[in-house]
Amino acid sequence: MNLKIVFLVLFIAAASAKSASKLVEKFAWNVLDYAYPDQATKQHALNTGEFIPQNGIPVGIEVWRDKLFVTVPRWRKGIPSTLNYVNLRNNYNKSPALIPYPDWRTNKEGNCEGVTTTYRIKADACDRLWVLDSGTLGIENTTQQLCPYGILVYDLHTDRLIRRYNFKPEDTNPQTFIANIAVDIGKTCDDTFVYASDELGHGLLVYSWAENTSWRVEHGFFLQTL
């Protein structure tokens, strides 16, 4: 992957009288920008290498009401925030600056109480945002496990963290790489299970909201076949 070439186009379905499935380009970025509180703060981040615009690559999106969430993993240095959003309401900028969610502090590199690197996120029917944090910096042979694998859950009405859960040591193995998440809600919001695929460790991690615990599932079907 050439990380110097960054181009992402996000499509949002737009209903029309002619075609209910017509797609239109909403946002496009060649290089990412962030909504710093002021120009002086942004310039300091650029000068120190905290923000290196050409190093950011968006990999995941999720929509909830007037927010488009965008994830940017910390594959290389200079990623100031991994979990972000764009305001969809009255946003006429084709390449809007990303706003850290829920704030800058949560996304600070090295803060294991926040979010280190996230790939996939999910907004559920109970208006909760589920964030799978890999806790890693780098990619492939440069990967460092800075913080534990974990799940953060936000109340989307208040933007408050309502639960953080770190997976247990026995849930992972030395080959573990977890990026994708699926949320399954039963009859009530408390009856929720989360599934995270261990793509390199050949397993499945399961989390129960009601019991606030996790376990690992392994099966021959998860093994790679020729």
In whole angstroms, give the CA distance from residue 172 to residue 178: 9
Percent of the chain with pLDDT over 70: 89
In the numeric block, which tokens belong to residue 82? 């991994």
pLDDT at 205 (0 to 100): 96
pLDDT at 2 (0 to 100): 44
The domains found in the chain, sorted by start residue, are 8-222 (2.120.10.30)
17: confidence class by pLDDT, cuts 50, 70, 90: very low
At 15 the three-state DSSP class reads coil
Give, for 87, the enclosing helix (H) or strand (E): strand 83-87
* Average pLDDT estimate for 157-164: 98
What's the predicted TM-score (pTM) here? 0.88
In whole angstroms, give the CA distance from residue 118 to residue 82: 6
163: confidence class by pLDDT, cuts 50, 70, 90: very high
Give, for 25, the enclosing helix (H) or strand (E): strand 23-29
In whole angstroms, give the CA distance from residue 17 to residue 119: 35
118 burial type by CB count under 10 A (0-12 exposed, 13-18 middle, 19+ buried): buried
In the numeric block, which tokens belong to residue 163? 């639960």
User: Using one digit for the tens of pLDDT, what is the confidence trace for 20-56?
Assistant: 567 888 899 999 999 999 999 999 999 999 999 999 9
Residue 6's identity, in one-letter code, is V
96: confidence class by pLDDT, cuts 50, 70, 90: very high
